[in-house]
Amino acid sequence: MTDVKIAASSVLAEPEESLIMRVFITGASGWIGSAAVVELLAAGHQLTALARSDASAAALAEMGVGVLRGDLDDLYSIRVGAEDADAVIHLANKHDWSNPAASNAAERAAVQTIGETLAGTDRRFLLAAGVAALTQGRPATEDDPSPFSGPESPRGGSENLAFDFVGRGVHTVSLRFAPTVHGTGDHGFIATIAAIARQRGVSGYPGDGTNRWAAVHRSDAARLVALGLDKAAAGTRLHAVAEVGIPTRDIAAAIGRAFDLPIASIAPDDVPSHFGWIGTFFGMDLTATSDATRSLLGWTPRGPTLIEDLDAGAYTVTSVAS
Ligand SMILES: NC(=O)c1ccc[n+]([C@@H]2O[C@H](COP(=O)([O-])OP(=O)(O)OC[C@H]3O[C@@H](n4cnc5c(N)ncnc54)[C@H](OP(=O)(O)O)[C@@H]3O)[C@@H](O)[C@H]2O)c1
């Protein structure tokens, strides 16, 4: 059973001297991972990354990262990577939005494998998580445990599963990223919403557009990964959140400005058909604070806000298929 008493603010020890570590990282070729790699290398760490394709392997090698060929579906490769490292950072995710159950099952299996491999070693294990649906009617804080446990849960209940290993001698730290980790080149949620706006010829927002999304710039999220590896105590939940919540109407308006499109309210009943799979998320209030993370790690977001990024053209050079 998950120890819900674990909280960021209550367990952080005094900062230790920075350690140089051999780090095994999954998802290093991804949006957040490739920026985190730069920060981790700059901090002096030696990185080995899981790579599932020749292209990812070549890109990682070019960055000065050791490559372990493997896949989320090849748990042996994940175990080998974790065994050989002082710390593991798990950022890979299938992100198969047409089959979330498969993504969640792979996520849970990877976390289980890493946890079992690190059990009894006190080694650090940082894993990606999100802030969606952690709380109702107020922004989530680092003290809010995830309500999701078990294989059928969002992300396969992986955050709580990883925290279960704290009691088995694993130094687990959760990296809860805002629902948009934005910037030039993003192929995530905001790029998808912008692509839908272009396809529809209108930049829509759900209902009255007062539901909000937290946000963080990619550079700040990447810095937090490296800081969390260095300083966060076992059981810590870190919030990679620079902005507590931006109304979806403001996001739609900025997308409209960026692509010279009108904006429009989309009736709640029409949100699924208008936005497709991402309508579920765009219709939610996904807010979170990061006060504890800032004070615990001395982390201060420095990047542009989401609206500044949109207005500066960060998404007009990016496109994804919805
Ligand atoms: N970006 C956000 O706004 C955001 C918000 C909240 C949470 N998160 C979470 O943060 C983590 C990183 O997100 P991201 O935006 O960086 O994701 P991303 O850009 O989609 O990258 C996903 C990474 O996972 C790897 N991957 C995918 N399927 C794999 C498989 N079957 N085997 C091995 N590796 C596989 C990809 O490798 P290839 O390069 O070879 O495809 C890539 O390195 C994820 O867990 C995500 O859910 C992200």
User: 153 or 12: whose pLDDT is higher?
Assistant: 153
The whole-number pLDDT of residue 10 equals 38
**Residue 9 pLDDT exceeds 60:** no
Query: 234-280: per-residue pLDDT in tens?
Result: 999 999 999 999 999 999 999 999 999 999 999 999 999 999 999 99
Q: Which residues contact 276 (CB under 8 A, 6 or more apart)?
A: 196, 322
**Residue 6 pLDDT exceeds 90:** no
The whole-number pLDDT of residue 16 equals 55
Mean pLDDT across the chain: 93
Q: Is 95 in the pocket of ligand 1 (CB under 6 A)?
A: yes
User: 7 or 27: whose pLDDT is higher?
Assistant: 27
Q: Is 301 in the pocket of ligand 1 (CB under 6 A)?
A: no
> Rounded to whole angstroms, what are the CA distances from 98 to 94, 103, 278, 303, 322?
11, 9, 11, 32, 11
Structure tokens at 130: 């999100």
Dist. CA 146 → ligand 1 center (Å): 20
Atom of ligand 1 nearest to the CA of 28: 43
Q: Is 241 in the pocket of ligand 1 (CB under 6 A)?
A: no
**Residue 296 pLDDT exceeds 90:** yes
**Residue 75 pLDDT exceeds 60:** yes
Q: Is 33 in the pocket of ligand 1 (CB under 6 A)?
A: yes
Query: 179-220: per-residue pLDDT in tens?
Result: 999 999 999 999 999 999 999 999 999 999 999 999 999 999
The whole-number pLDDT of residue 5 equals 37
- The whole-number average pLDDT for the span 96-118 is 97
Residue nearest to atom 39 of ligand 1 (CA): 29
3-state helix, strand, coil in the chain (%, to 5): 40, 20, 40
If pLDDT is split at 50, 70 and 90, which confidence band does 317 have?
A: confident
**Residue 320 pLDDT exceeds 90:** no
The whole-number pLDDT of residue 7 equals 45
Residue nearest to atom 20 of ligand 1 (CA): 30
Structure tokens at 251: 């996001």
Q: Is 180 in the pocket of ligand 1 (CB under 6 A)?
A: yes
Q: Which residues contact 62 (CB under 8 A, 6 or more apart)?
A: none
Dist. CA 17 → ligand 1 center (Å): 30
Query: 129-180: per-residue pLDDT in tens?
Result: 999 999 999 999 999 999 999 999 999 999 999 999 999 999 999 999 999 9
